[in-house]
Amino acid sequence: MADHGQTEQMLEMYIYETTQNIEQLEAVILAAENADRYDEDSINEIFRIMHTIKGSSAMMLFDSLAALAHKMEDLFYFLRERQPAFIDYSLLSDLVLEGIDFMKVELQKIKNGDPADGEAGQLLQSIENYVTVLKEQTTAAAETAATAAGQLKTPMPAAADSSIYKAVLHFAADCGMENIRAYTLVLQLQEQVAELQYLPEDLDSADSAELIREKGFTLFLRSDKSYAELEEILAQTLFLERLELSQLPAAETAAAGAKDGDVPETMQQLKERTAQETNLAAGSQAVISVSVSKLDQLMDLVGEMVIAESMVTQNPDLKGLQLDNFEKAARQLHKITGELQDLVMSIRMVPLATTFHKMHRLVRDMSRQLNKEVKLQLLGEQTEVDKNIIEHIADPLMHLIRNAMDHGLERKEEREALGKPAVGTITLEAKNAGSDVLILVKDDGRGLNKAKILERAQAQGLLTKPAAEMTEQEIYELVFLPGFSTKKDVTEFSGRGVGMDVVANNLQLVGGSVAVDSVAGEGCTFTLKIPLTLAIIDSMNVKVGNSCFTIPIASIKECLRAQQHTLLHDTNGDEMLMVRGVCYPIIRLHQYFALDTPITDLSEGILIMVEHDKQGCLLFVDELLGQQEVVVKALPAYIRNRHQSKGLSGCTLLGDGSISLILDVGGLLN
Amino acid sequence: MTRVLVVDDAAFMRMAIKNMLESNGMEIVGEAENGAVAVKKYVELKPDLVTMDITMPEMNGLDALKAIMQLDPQAKVIMVSAMGQEAMVKEAIMSGAKSFIIKPFKADHVLKTINSIL
């Protein structure tokens, strides 16, 4: 198991098999619960699955999992062996399902490469309590005699022709099942010696294993073998750590057994302590786990409800009617749907901490491999983002960090020569910015190399205008183009040339974007901008001709009426408007989407200033329809596939049942 | 080379044992996922050594051990057990198992146990 590959492979197998086992377990329990009884087969099966999980987990050193599986195994062992007459099946199911959930969480942690650090203490306690209850109910059954260690029943008679030996064997500390090891030895010895007695006498109970561990296994043998012969036989015992063999004078034999009379006291103490522990009350459960698909469903339903609500309250039939009471009720409804929506959103929000912490491992592994000392600094890891989005940003983050470590940060000697701290720093920072979350990946390395980027882009034919005319920002943005990679040699971690464009694409999928900023010699910063959530956005509905468009409020800066005198034209004849000393290009939506509208004069319609990635522009629309929360739906595949969705990010249903297209401001600006 | 048959219902455990033994110069001639298959494979492969899990579906390790001992009284079977199975291990020893290892096991424990009976 020493080499890494094998461990990895075993971990994979462990995760796979345990996941399957847990799924199977869940199925068995749910079936049993439906039938309202656990039949013998299912009890057997649960016992076996728990047993397997226990063994595998212990092998992989996932102690909390192993401990929990062990407790559950004990529980079902008890059920199987004793078959108690009355079982509270629902309680039993609850316990087991709770255990399953704990295991799932731990497994997920393991899958994510995080330490399986969950504590099942309370759950263990509840299971133990339940076993105790069950045991009490079945007190009619014979009490297990705990007289593991007593005195020798009959003093050993000294025989003339053979000597009596006393042997105390201590087994290696972690060999386990000392009582059975002792039993194996006894079985062997019985053939070789004339008479044999041993302490503790009862080798069946686990208590005796404990005793042997503490006090050793004491044997009294009568044999005509010599001291040396016996010593040789005993020394062969597996996992023997220490052997004390002595030849006894006949008289001592009878008394010898009494020596260990203090043993039961220790056991008594042990038993009392266990009992006390059992009495600790198990608190009630404050957190439940819910399947993600249910949450998604809930989210969808709430979305539909938001639409339905506006369908009702903005119903065209109500137009022009004086409906005071209706308005009042509608406001109440609106308030509740709003709260409901907030709640559903907050349920889906997950802190970025897990994703961020995953990076520790990456940085650690890479610093070893690349022989660069790097410190990972995490800031704002408690920032919350929609669960679906988190799934999409783990890979881009990993990629950016890899790049920073591989290309960005210099070697130690180089850094020292430059007067930088020898240890490089990568900062991963998350912060809220309106309805977006910004994630910054910052390194203090050498920064992006403009000359190299240009050279590379030229070689790949990616330049669309002369290099001399490009701003710094534009040059840096080149790294996001498909097929761009400045590093010629492919390293293990980065530089396969499928890098940054994949990052950009991944982010676009969730409606985010990535920007880069770099200072030569001081490092570079990638800024990922991701929406807080995907499903419901606050938006402004606007009208162009007969069509309705939806603009995310987050990207709207202001709305204004144009004054003719501030209108400018650039050399291409494109319209620009000067607003407080800054020129903004105007995009006429009716032209952009080729729509018929009577309003083509700028002063008749309205201009909406939108901003994306620090670029701004003015959208010319006929009129504003109003602000509304809309549920984002993806564009149908037949529209997306025809590549005619430029400038559109999705669509939504409006209150009157009509469809509105959601504008993709970033797309419009490009 | 010692030819070993690994019996365990958990593929993970089989893999663990296999890795352990193979890296110590033993040959895994077969794997079985339950007692019934184990008995069949024992007859087929005649391995030098069997590692036998106790808790398995279909036929458990004890029954498989007994069946194997009946077919071949010289069979060398090591039980793979877990804490809490003392009674079964004891029964296995009485039924002819040569020794036992306890999950979670360490490589040196396993090897020590195996070497002591070979």
Residues A296-316 have a mean pLDDT of 83
Query: What count of residues does chain B have?
Result: 118
Q: Which residues contact A480 (CB under 8 A, 6 or more apart)?
A: A500, A501, A503, A504, A514, A516
B13 and chain A: CB distance < 8 Å anywhere? yes
A10 to B103: CB separation less than 8 angstroms, yes or no: no
Q: How many CB pairs under 8 A join A and B?
A: 96
SS3 of A626, please?
Answer: strand
A52 to B13: CB separation less than 8 angstroms, yes or no: yes
B10 to A204: CB separation less than 8 angstroms, yes or no: no
Residues A543 and A664 in one domain: yes
Least confident of A123-132, A503-512, B41-50: A503-512
CA distance B17 to chain A (A): 10
Q: Domain boundary residue among A531, A551, A579? A: A531
- Identify which of A346, A269, A243 has the alpha carbon closest to the alpha carbon of residue A302: A346
Residues A379 and A505 in one domain: yes
- CATH number at A299 reads 1.10.287
Least CB–CB distance from A59: residue in B93, B99, B104? B104
Residues A186 and A335 in one domain: no
Task: Render pLDDT for A197-238 as a digit per residue (tens, 0 to 9).
Answer: 777 777 777 677 777 877 778 877 777 777 888 888 887 777
Residues A505 and A574 in one domain: no
Residues A119 and A40 in one domain: yes
B99 to A14: CB separation less than 8 angstroms, yes or no: no
* Residue matched to tokens 């990972």: A376
pLDDT for position A415: 86
Instruction: Quote the percentage of chain A above a pLDDT of 90.
Output: 5
A5 pLDDT more than 70: no
A10 to B83: CB separation less than 8 angstroms, yes or no: no
Q: Which of residues 26-45 of B touch A (CB under 8 A)?
A: none
Residue A451 token pair = 């000359």
Task: Render pLDDT for A529-543 as a digit per residue (tens, 0 to 9).
Answer: 887 766 677 789 999
Single-letter residue type at A480: F
A505 pLDDT more than 90: no
Q: Select from B8, B12, B80 the residue whose CB has the most chain A CBs within 10 Å, as the one to mutate to test that interface.
A: B12
Q: Which residues contact B64 (CB under 8 A, 6 or more apart)?
A: B7, B34, B35, B36, B38, B39, B52, B56
- CATH number at A70 reads 1.20.120.160
Q: With DSSP H G I counted as helix, E B as strand and the rest as coil, what are the percentages for chain A, rounded to 5?
A: 50, 20, 30
A58 to B11: CB separation less than 8 angstroms, yes or no: no
B104 and chain A: CB distance < 8 Å anywhere? yes
CATH number assigned to the domain with residue range B3-117, chosen from the 4 options 1.10.150.120, 3.40.50.2300, 3.40.50.300, 1.10.3720.10 = 3.40.50.2300
Residues A101 and A184 in one domain: no
B19 and chain A: CB distance < 8 Å anywhere? yes
Alpha-carbon distance A383 to A355, whole Å? 11
Residue A286 falls within a domain, yes or no? no
Task: Render pLDDT for A360-404 as a digit per residue (tens, 0 to 9).
Answer: 767 877 777 788 888 888 888 888 888 778 877 888 888 888 888
Least CB–CB distance from A51: residue in B82, B100, B106? B82
β-bridge partners, A89: none
pLDDT for position A367: 79
Least CB–CB distance from B82: residue in A54, A187, A236? A54
- Identify which of B15, B62, B17 has the alpha carbon closest to the alpha carbon of residue B36: B62
pLDDT for position A329: 92
Task: Render pLDDT for A244-268 as a digit per residue (tens, 0 to 9).
Answer: 877 776 544 444 444 444 444 444 4
Please check whether residue A553 is in contact with residue A627, taking contact to mean a CB–CB distance below 8 angstroms. Answer: yes
B13 to A56: CB separation less than 8 angstroms, yes or no: yes
A323 pLDDT more than 90: no
Alpha-carbon distance A562 to A148, whole Å? 96
Alpha-carbon distance B64 to B70, whole Å? 10
Q: Domain boundary residue among A324, A349, A374? A: A349
B6 pLDDT more than 90: yes
Cβ count near A13 (within 10 Å): 19
Q: Which residue has the higher pLDDT, A37 or B114?
A: B114
Alpha-carbon distance A214 to A149, whole Å? 12
Residues A234 and A371 in one domain: no
CA distance B110 to chain A (A): 10
Cβ count near A489 (within 10 Å): 5
Q: At what angle do helices A63-82 and A40-59 cross, to 10 degrees?
A: 150
Least CB–CB distance from B93: residue in A47, A187, A239? A187
Please report which confidence band the pLDDT of residue A549 belongs to, taking 50, 70 and 90 as the band edges.
very high
Task: Render pLDDT for A277-294 as a digit per residue (tens, 0 to 9).
Answer: 434 333 344 566 677 778
Does ipTM top 0.85?
no
B60 and chain A: CB distance < 8 Å anywhere? no
Residue A282 falls within a domain, yes or no? no
* Residue matched to tokens 């470590």: A405
Q: Which residue has the higher pLDDT, A143 or A436?
A: A436
Residues of A with CB under 8 A from a CB of B: 1-2, 6, 9-10, 13-14, 17-18, 45, 47-48, 51-52, 54-56, 58-59, 61, 66, 70, 73-74, 77, 174-177, 179-180, 183-184, 187, 203-206, 209, 236, 238-239
- Write out the residue range of the structural domain in which residue A314 sits: 292-349
**DSSP-assigned states of every residue in A286-326:** ------HHHHHHHHHHHHHHHHHHHHHHT-GGGTT---HHH
Q: C-alpha angle A266/A129/A150, rounded to 5°? A: 25
Instruction: Assess whether the previous peptide bond of A84 is cis (omega < 30° from 0).
Output: no
pLDDT for position B106: 81
Residues A180 and A233 in one domain: yes
Exposure b/e, A614-628, CB count within 10 A at least 16 = b: eebbbbbbbeebeeb
Alpha-carbon distance A658 to A640, whole Å? 20
B1 and chain A: CB distance < 8 Å anywhere? no
Residue A486 token pair = 């400045």
Q: Which residues contact A313 (CB under 8 A, 6 or more apart)?
A: A330, A333, A334, A655
Alpha-carbon distance A599 to A604, whole Å? 6
Q: Which residue has the higher pLDDT, A126 or B47?
A: B47
Q: C-alpha angle A355/A356/A362, rounded to 5°? A: 95
- Identify which of A408, A377, A393, A382 has the alpha carbon closest to the alpha carbon of residue A529: A393
Instruction: Tell me, rounded to whole angstroms, the distance of Cα A241 from its chain centroid.
Output: 44
Q: With DSSP H G I counted as helix, E B as strand and the rest as coil, what are the percentages for chain B, rounded to 5?
A: 45, 25, 30
- Identify which of A241, A81, A256, A43 has the alpha carbon closest to the alpha carbon of residue A164: A256
- Identify which of A162, A182, A158 has the alpha carbon closest to the alpha carbon of residue A170: A182
A10 to B113: CB separation less than 8 angstroms, yes or no: no
Residues B51-72 have a mean pLDDT of 90
The most distant pair of C-alpha atoms in chain A lies apart, rounded to whole Å, by 130
pLDDT for position B42: 92
SS3 of A669, please?
Answer: helix
Residues A514 and A616 in one domain: no
Q: C-alpha angle A578/A581/A587, rounded to 5°? A: 30
Please report which confidence band the pLDDT of residue A495 belongs to, taking 50, 70 and 90 as the band edges.
very low
B50 pLDDT more than 80: yes
Q: Which residue has the higher pLDDT, A90 or A659?
A: A659
Exposure b/e, A631-645, CB count within 10 A at least 16 = b: bbeebeeeeeeeeeb
* Residue matched to tokens 């959208």: A619
Alpha-carbon distance A209 to A188, whole Å? 19
Alpha-carbon distance B32 to B40, whole Å? 9
Residues A311-318 have a mean pLDDT of 83
CA distance A16 to chain B (A): 9
Please report which confidence band the pLDDT of residue A145 belongs to, taking 50, 70 and 90 as the band edges.
very low
Least CB–CB distance from A10: residue in B12, B89, B100? B12
Please report which confidence band the pLDDT of residue A333 belongs to, taking 50, 70 and 90 as the band edges.
very high
Q: How many domains is chain A built from?
A: 5
A48 to B19: CB separation less than 8 angstroms, yes or no: no
Alpha-carbon distance A68 to A101, whole Å? 11
Please check whether residue A624 is in contact with residue A540, taking contact to mean a CB–CB distance below 8 angstroms. Answer: yes
CA distance B23 to chain A (A): 8
Query: What φ, ψ does residue A222 adopt, rounded to 5°?
Result: -115, 125
B99 to A1: CB separation less than 8 angstroms, yes or no: no
Task: Render pLDDT for A576-617 as a digit per residue (tens, 0 to 9).
Answer: 888 888 888 888 888 888 888 888 888 888 999 998 767 788
Please report which confidence band the pLDDT of residue A30 belongs to, taking 50, 70 and 90 as the band edges.
confident
Half-sphere exposure of A514 toward its Cβ, with a 13 Å CA cutoff?
Answer: 29
Residues A250 and A209 in one domain: yes
Residues A55 and A112 in one domain: yes
pLDDT for position B29: 92
Alpha-carbon distance A127 to A91, whole Å? 10
The chain A residue lying nearest B106, using CA atoms, is A59
CA distance A231 to chain B (A): 17
Residue A147 falls within a domain, yes or no? no
Alpha-carbon distance A208 to A166, whole Å? 19
Alpha-carbon distance A285 to A611, whole Å? 47
B83 and chain A: CB distance < 8 Å anywhere? yes
Half-sphere exposure of B78 toward its Cβ, with a 13 Å CA cutoff?
Answer: 26
SS3 of A195, please?
Answer: strand
Single-letter residue type at A530: I
Residues A237 and A207 in one domain: yes
Q: Which residue has the higher pLDDT, A544 or A466?
A: A544
A573 pLDDT more than 50: yes
Spell out which residues of chain A touch residue B55, defining contact as CB-CB under 8 Å.
Answer: 47-48, 51-52
A56 to B109: CB separation less than 8 angstroms, yes or no: no
Residue A477 falls within a domain, yes or no? yes
Half-sphere exposure of A623 toward its Cβ, with a 13 Å CA cutoff?
Answer: 8
Q: C-alpha angle A632/A637/A639, rounded to 5°? A: 90
pLDDT for position A371: 82
First to last CA, chain B: 11
Residue A284 falls within a domain, yes or no? no
The chain A residue lying nearest B19, using CA atoms, is A1
Element (H, E) at A188: helix A178-190
Alpha-carbon distance A5 to A15, whole Å? 15
Please check whether residue A545 is in contact with residue A594, taking contact to mean a CB–CB distance below 8 angstroms. Answer: no
B19 to A56: CB separation less than 8 angstroms, yes or no: no
